[in-house]
Amino acid sequence: MSFAERGEAADINETAALVKSTELKQAFALESLGSITSLRSELVALLK
């Protein structure tokens, strides 16, 4: 594998890692939003 090919492979691996990181952050954000929504519903029910 040439130097250029190794550099390209490293760029691809870095991009894949960034994509995975973004996907994990998105999943965490959606899970957090679900928890917040659930807690809000419980709070509203308690205040009635």
Q: Please write the tens of the pLDDT for every residue from 31-48.
A: 999 999 999 999 999 999
**For residues 9 and 1, is the Cβ–Cβ distance under 8 A?**
yes
First-to-last C-alpha distance (Å) of the chain: 68
User: 44 lies in which domain range?
Assistant: 24-48
**Those residues with Cβ within 8 angstroms of residue 1's Cβ, 6 or more apart along the chain or in another chain:** 9
Q: Decide if 15 is inside a domain.
A: no
Q: What is the mean pLDDT of residues 16-40?
A: 98
Q: Decide if 1 is inside a domain.
A: no
Predicted confidence band at 13 (pLDDT cuts at 50, 70, 90)?
very high
Write down the pLDDT at residue 22.
99
Q: What is the mean pLDDT of residues 17-38?
A: 98
Number of separate domains in the chain: 1
| Largest CA-CA distance found in the chain, in angstroms, rounded | 69
Q: Decide if 40 is inside a domain.
A: yes
Whole-number percent of the chain with pLDDT over 90: 94
Predicted confidence band at 4 (pLDDT cuts at 50, 70, 90)?
confident
